Amino acid sequence: MTNSRTWVLGLWFFVSVVFAMAPLQTTWAESEQAAPAINNPNPGADLWRAVRGHLDSPAVTQVGGHDSAVLVNDEGERWTLIRVNELVPKSRDWLLFVILLLGLVYMIAGPQKLQHGEAGVEVERHNTTARFIHWFLAIIFIVLGITGLILLLGRVALIPLIGKEAFGVVARICKEVHNFVGPLFPVAIILVFFNLVRGNLYER
């Protein structure tokens, strides 16, 4: 019994020493194999430092204005990285979350119905001109919203589904539609404003 216990203690001590020495041996081997660092300056570093505007003396340019001699803005580069890597993916996730939440609320609450049912009498609230202006604005708003979301989130949401070539065609069409319909939006806003405000003024 004593011999067995001695063998067990000896084996446990040996294993403990081996595991304790392993990190030391690894560190020693790494320190022996580590080569001294070579100081090899990048020949393009000075060029890119000049492009970004980090110069000891101000650059000379014929273009007037603040930061006119800076070709690459560091703040703009950082904002681009934040937008591409953080803002756009999180916006996509939040949009999907809102859509799922709306679907869940609709499944639970269902369509809202009149408490006493329909009376069977139709009342015209707006004339034909007002309805036309309203739907003119509504269609423009929907088109701008869909095309804008595709251009904003399509790179992270649609490329994995339809591929780069198909998304390129869709993005090109959305860009043209967005640029064409965009100027009509403020016109529709002005028409709706004057058409609706005219009938909501206080009467003397």
Low-confidence ranges of the chain (pLDDT < 70): 1-73, 199, 201-204
What is the Cα–Cα distance from 78 to 129, expressed in whole angstroms? 49
Structure tokens at 54: 């980090």
Where are the chain's structural domains?
70-112, 128-198
User: pLDDT tens digit string along 77-136?
Assistant: 788 888 888 888 888 888 889 989 988 988 888 777 877 777 778 888 888 888 899 999
Provide the pLDDT for residue 18.
Answer: 41
Instruction: Quote the pLDDT of residue 177.
Output: 95
Contacts of 134 by beta carbon, 8 Å cutoff, 6+ apart: 126, 192
Take residue 157 and report the two structure tokens written for it. Answer: 């949401």
Diameter of the chain by CA atoms? 113
Q: Is the pTM of this model over 0.75?
A: no
Conformation bin of residue 163: beta by default, left when phi > 0, alpha when psi is -120 to 50? left
Predicted local distance difference test score (pLDDT) of residue 137 = 94
Q: Are 170 and 150 in contact (CB under 8 A)?
A: yes
Q: How many CB atoms lie within 10 A of CB 123?
A: 5
Provide the pLDDT for residue 24: 43
**pLDDT score, position 76:** 74
